[in-house]
Chain A
C-alpha cells in the first residue's frame, strides 16, 4: 500500500516551454506533498511543500513563479516548470506521508527533465 505515482518518468522540452509533472497518491489521501530536486550524485533539495486547497510553501531560494505548484485535490499535486531553461534540467521527485509522524515518506519514481 501507500503508493505514490509520478508522471511522466522523463520529459525533454525546448527552452522557453513549460512542463507539468503530476504526483498522485493512489491509495491514500495526502493533504501535504513534498517536491524535491536532485542533482547528479547529490542529495535531495526540498523545493516546496504542497498543501491541498491552499498555497504551497516554498523553500528559500526557490522561485515560486518558475516552479508553480497546485494541489487541487487530496490525491493530486502538480509541479509546472514554467519557461524552462537548460539549468532547470534535473531529477524531480515528489513524496507524501501516508500516516502519522512516525511514518516514512513515500516517494514517486521521479521525473527526469531535460531542457534543450
Chain B
C-alpha cells in the first residue's frame, strides 16, 4: 500500500533563506509524486509533480523538488523564502496501477519570518 510521510509539522525559516519541506514515500513501483500548497481557508493548489525524467522538478512560485529514489524522498525546496510562502504544504503519491485517489501526507506548516 502507498504511504507518504511529512516528518515535520512545522518549518520555520527567515525570509531570504532557503527552505526545505520534507517528504518521504512508500509505493510498489515508480511513484507519481505531487506537491500542493494551501493558504488559509482556501483549497489546495498544485505546485509541481514528478512522474518520470529529471530528478529535479521545477514548479510554480519558484518552488522545486528533488526526487531521490534511493532515499524514497521528494523534498520541496526554494532558494529564497518569501513571507508570502507561509502556508500549509502537502505531499501526495499515487502508485502505478493503483487508485486515482492519491495518498496525502499530513501537511507541513511553513512559516517564513520577516
**Chain A residues proximal to chain B, CB less than 8 Å:** 4, 6, 9, 32, 34, 41-44, 46, 49, 91, 93, 95, 97, 101-102, 104-110, 112
Contacts and interface: CB of A to CB of B under 8 A. Distances in A.
B45 A32 contact: no
A106 B100 CA distance: 13
A107 B51 contact: no
Contact of B32 (A4, A95, A101): A101
B29 interface: no
B101 A34 contact: yes
Contacts of A105: 34, 36, 44, 46, 92, 102
Given A43-B105, A101-B96, A104-B49, 9 more contacts: A34-B101, A43-B90, A44-B90, A102-B32, A104-B34, A105-B92, A105-B102, A106-B46, A112-B41
Contact of A6 (B43, B92, B101): B43
Interface string B1-39: 000000000000000000000000000000010101000
A108 B88 CA distance: 16
Contact of A107 (B41, B45, B100, B101): B45
Contacts of B104: 43-44
Nearest to B42: A109
A113 B73 CA distance: 36
A109 B107 contact: no
Interface string B87-106: 01010101010001110111
A9 B100 CA distance: 26
Nearest to B52: A102
Contacts of A41: 88, 109
B100 A101 contact: yes
A6 B41 CA distance: 13
B105 A93 contact: no
B106 A42 contact: yes
Nearest to A45: B104
A104 to B, nearest CB: 4
